[in-house]
C-alpha cells in the first residue's frame, strides 16, 4: 500500500449526486444548499446531478463554465454529471445504473438530445431507458470521446453491473468488445476497494467512490468520495478524466461497507439477515418465509472472486469512516437528525472546522470536550475499527459497538490503523 501518498494536496469530490427532480430526493435540493453543505463537510467539488432534466438544466444554466468546470457565483465548482438506468434483455433481464460525466455544456446538450430520442426526460432526474450498455457506449463515442461512463454502485443486487439480481459476471459480459471504453467503476455503499480488488477483470480499472446522494445533509453528501490530485493550474474536466483513466487519483473515502443497505443477505419484511456462510447453509432460502433471499454484496463478491487481493496492481489508499452525525447520534442515544444531535454537530463544526477535518485529523484532546465516548468513537472510526451491524435488503447498517466511556492508555494502544484504510499523511 502507498504509505507515502500525500493527500494534503487532494480535491475531495462527490461526482454522483441528484437534484430535487429525481424520485425520492429532498425537495430542498438546490445548488445553494449543495454548495453550503459541501463546504461544511469539507468537499471541494460536486457533480451537477441530473443535467438532462429540463427544469434542473435551467438552473445549471446560471453557472459559469471554464475548462469544462461549472462555477457558482461564489466560485464553487461543479462537473457536468447525471445518472441513468438501463433496463433491457441481454441473456436475461438486466437493470444497470450508470454515472455519466460530460466535458462541456454543449456536449451535455448533445447527450440530452440523444437520451430524449430514447424516452422521456421530464418525469425523473434519473430516467429509465430500454437500450443496452453497449448501445450507450457506442452513442457516447459518437458524441465525444471525453464522455466518461462509470458503472454506478457496481455491486448492489438490483441495479449494480455486478449485482446478484440483474448484473453481469464481468465487464466483458456486459460490454463485449467495448469493455475497453470503461475506465472505472464506483464501489457503492455496500462495497469497498478491497472487495473489488478480488476481481481480475478490474485490474486495469480505477476504483472510484461517490455518494449517490438524495439529500444535501452531511450524513448523505460525500459519505463516499474520491480524492483527486490538485493540478498546478486551474482545475479542468480534461485533468479529472485523465486521472480517472490513468488511475492517477490519490485515493477514496468510503463508509464501512457493512453500513450499506445491501451488504449482507436477507429479507427486510421478515426482519431477517445473515452472512454469506449462513446463506449457503440455508441454500439461499429465507427460513422465515421460505422465499429466495435477497443476496447482498459480500456473498456476490465471494462468487466473483478470482484472484488474491495482493494480485491487484493498482491499489490506492482509502479511509473507511462513518459520517459524524452517526457517531454523535450513537454516543448520545438520540436520532440522527434530532435537535440534540445537530446542536453537538454545529458546535463541533464551529470550533474545529469541517467534518472531514474532524473525522480524520483533529487530535483526541480537542474532541474530548464534546464527550469522552464521542471522542473514542471518532478515534475508532478513523482507523476502521468500529463495529457495524451489516445492512441488508434495503436496510442501512447500524453501529454495533461497545465503547467504554473512559479508555485508559493501555486500551488506546490496542486501536491500530488498518494498513489499507489509514494513509499516514494528513488529508488537509
Q: Name every residue whose Cβ is closer than 8 Å to that of residue 34 and which is 6 or more positions away in sequence.
A: 17, 46, 216, 221
Q: Read off the pLDDT band of 82 (50, 70, 90).
A: very high
Contact (CB, 8 A) for 46 and 78: yes
Please indicate, yes or no, whether the overall pTM of this predicted structure exceeds 0.95. no
Contact (CB, 8 A) for 31 and 63: yes
DSSP conformation class of 272: E
Domains of the chain, earliest start first: 7-259 (3.20.20.140), 322-389+401-413 (no CATH)
CA separation for the pair 240, 412 (Å, rounded): 39
CA separation for the pair 417, 366 (Å, rounded): 20
Whole-number pLDDT of residue 401: 74
Best CA proximity match to 16, nearest among 175, 145, 209: 209
Whole-number pLDDT of residue 204: 96
Q: Read off the pLDDT band of 403 (50, 70, 90).
A: low
CA separation for the pair 301, 143 (Å, rounded): 34
CA separation for the pair 237, 259 (Å, rounded): 32
CA separation for the pair 409, 267 (Å, rounded): 42
Cell numbers for 70, please give them.
461549472
Beta bridge partners of 12: 227
Query: pLDDT tens-digit profile of 230-257?
Result: 998 999 999 999 999 999 999 999 999 9
Inter-residue long-range contacts of 3-7, CB under 8 Å, 24+ positions, other chains counted: 3/423, 3/424, 4/424, 4/425, 5/250, 5/251, 5/316, 5/317, 5/423, 5/425, 6/250, 6/425, 7/227, 7/250, 7/251, 7/317, 7/423, 7/425, 7/426, 7/427
Cell numbers for 370, please give them.
464534546
Contact (CB, 8 A) for 100 and 82: yes
Whole-number pLDDT of residue 303: 97
User: Is the pLDDT score of 184 beyond 50?
Assistant: yes
Amino acid at each position: 500500500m502507498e504509505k507515502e501518498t500525500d493527500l494534503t494536496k487532494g480535491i475531495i469530490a462527490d461526482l454522483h449526486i441528484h437534484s430535487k427532480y429525481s424520485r425520492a430526493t429532498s425537495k430542498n435540493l438546490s445548488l445553494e444548499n449543495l454548495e453550503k453543505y459541501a463546504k461544511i463537510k469539507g468537499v471541494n467539488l460536486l457533480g451537477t446531478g441530473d443535467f438532462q432534466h429540463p427544469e434542473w438544466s435551467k438552473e445549471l444554466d446560471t453557472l459559469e463554465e471554464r475548462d469544462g468546470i461549472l462555477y457558482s457565483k461564489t466560485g464553487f465548482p461543479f462537473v457536468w454529471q447525471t445518472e441513468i438506468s438501463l433496463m433491457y434483455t441481454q441473456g436475461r433481464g438486466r437493470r444497470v445504473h450508470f454515472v455519466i460525466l460530460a466535458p462541456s455544456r454543449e456536449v451535455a446538450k448533445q447527450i440530452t438530445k440523444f437520451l430524449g430520442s430514447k424516452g422521456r426526460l421530464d418525469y425523473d432526474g434519473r430516467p429509465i431507458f430500454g437500450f443496452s450498455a453497449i448501445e450507450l457506449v457506442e452513442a457516447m463515442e459518437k458524441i465525444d470521446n471525453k464522455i466518461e461512463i462509470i458503472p454506478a454502485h457496481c455491486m448492489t443486487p438490483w441495479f449494480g453491473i455486478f449485482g446478484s439480481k440483474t448484473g453481469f459476471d464481468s465487464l466483458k459480459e456486459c460490454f463485449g468488445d467495448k469493455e475497453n471504453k470503461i475506465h472505472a467503476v464506483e464501489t457503492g455503499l455496500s462495497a469497498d476497494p478491497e472487495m473489488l480488488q478480488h476481481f481480475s477483470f478490474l485490474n486495469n480499472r480505477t476504483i472510484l467512490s461517490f455518494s449517490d446522494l438524495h439529500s444535501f445533509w452531511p450524513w448523505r453528501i460525500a459519505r463516499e468520495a474520491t480524492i483527486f490530485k490538485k493540478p498546478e493550474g486551474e482545475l479542468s474536466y480534461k485533468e479529472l478524466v485523465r486521472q480517472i483513466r490513468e488511475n492517477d487519483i490519490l485515493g477514496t473515502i468510503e463508509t464501512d461497507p457493512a453500513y450499506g443497505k445491501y451488504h449482507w443477505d436477507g429479507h427486510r419484511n421478515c426482519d431477517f439477515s445473515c452472512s454469506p456462510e449462513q446463506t449457503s447453509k440455508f441454500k439461499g432460502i429465507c427460513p422465515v418465509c421460505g422465499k429466495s433471499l435477497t443476496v447482498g454484496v459480500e456473498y456476490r463478491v465471494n462468487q466473483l472472486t478470482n484472484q488474491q487481493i495482493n494480485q491487484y496492481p493498482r491499489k490506492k489508499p482509502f479511509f473507511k469512516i462513518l459520517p459524524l452525525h452517526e457517531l454523535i447520534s450513537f454516543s448520545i442515544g438520540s436520532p440522527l437528525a434530532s435537535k440534540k444531535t445537530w446542536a453537538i454537530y454545529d458546535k463541533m463544526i464551529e470550533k474545529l472546522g469541517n467534518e472531514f477535518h474532524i473525522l480524520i485529523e483533529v487530535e483526541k484532546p480537542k474532541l474530548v470536550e464534546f464527550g469522552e465516548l464521542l471522542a473514542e468513537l471518532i478515534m475508532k472510526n478513523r482507523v476502521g475499527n468500529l463495529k457495524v451491524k451489516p445492512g441488508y435488503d434495503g436496510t442501512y447498517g447500524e453501529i454495533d459497538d461497545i465503547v467504554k466511556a473512559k479508555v485508559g492508555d493501555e486500551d488506546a494502544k490496542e486501536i491500530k490503523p488498518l494498513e489499507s484504510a489509514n494513509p499516514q499523511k494528513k488529508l488537509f
